[in-house]
Chain A
């Protein structure tokens, strides 16, 4: 059974800092990995999708990497802003297109 863990569970950084969120998983047989953000009481917003054959994806200030052999993915956020404050979830698509979510990292970017 796939288990997905995110570290840290919560993170507070001052505006402008670069930061890294970590996602680790136990089963490397995946089709893809996605990073989402969730604002309180809202649905998920897809940030980046990495196919299993890819190593990284970039979108604006976000960069996500995937290392299947070590069972890890990282989300790098450059020059953080208060608007980046949210919960970030990684999720893996395995067999039958089922998605397994990580535990989430709650990010607070302070002024």
Chain B
């Protein structure tokens, strides 16, 4: 199966700063990646679908200007949380769509905004 790497695994930042999270598909060319967010004791919620070479598709209620997604290559998608605030503190997970429809997940990135 695909190996998915996320970086950083955890990050602490001050309110108002921007944070970039990388998601890499190490052994698979991924045309489609997904970004999820998970608040404590809640299930994962899909934020957006990232398609290589085109604009991301955002789920309802997710601010595209706040959560910038770039999928410039078949192995890398980035999520940038702009002007982060404490309410953006969450666990962010990316996943890669495999050929059979299976999803492979990164280890996640925990963001804490002070």
Contact = CB atoms under 8 A, between A and B. Distances in A.
Interface of A: 31-32, 34, 36, 41-46, 49, 51, 89, 91, 93, 96-104
A98 B35 CA distance: 11
Contact of A98 (B43, B49, B102, B108): B49
Smallest CB-CB A-B distances: 9 pairs: A43-B108, A43-B107, A44-B105, A101-B43, A43-B105, A49-B102, A101-B44, A32-B101, A43-B93
Interface of B: 1, 6, 32, 34, 43-46, 49, 91, 93, 95, 97, 100-108, 110
B93 A44 contact: yes
29 contacts: A31-B101, A32-B102, A34-B102, A34-B103, A36-B105, A41-B91, A41-B110, A43-B6, A43-B93, A43-B106, A43-B107, A44-B44, A44-B93, A46-B1, A46-B103, A46-B105, A51-B100, A96-B49, A97-B97, A97-B101, A98-B46, A98-B49, A99-B34, A99-B95, A99-B103, A101-B44, A101-B45, A102-B43, A104-B43
Contacts of B102: 32, 34, 46, 49
Contacts of B101: 31-32, 49, 51, 93, 97
Q: Interface on chain B toward A: helix, strand, loop, or mixed SS?
A: strand
Contacts of B6: 43
Nearest to A106: B41
Contact of A89 (B44, B49, B106): B44
A42 B107 contact: yes
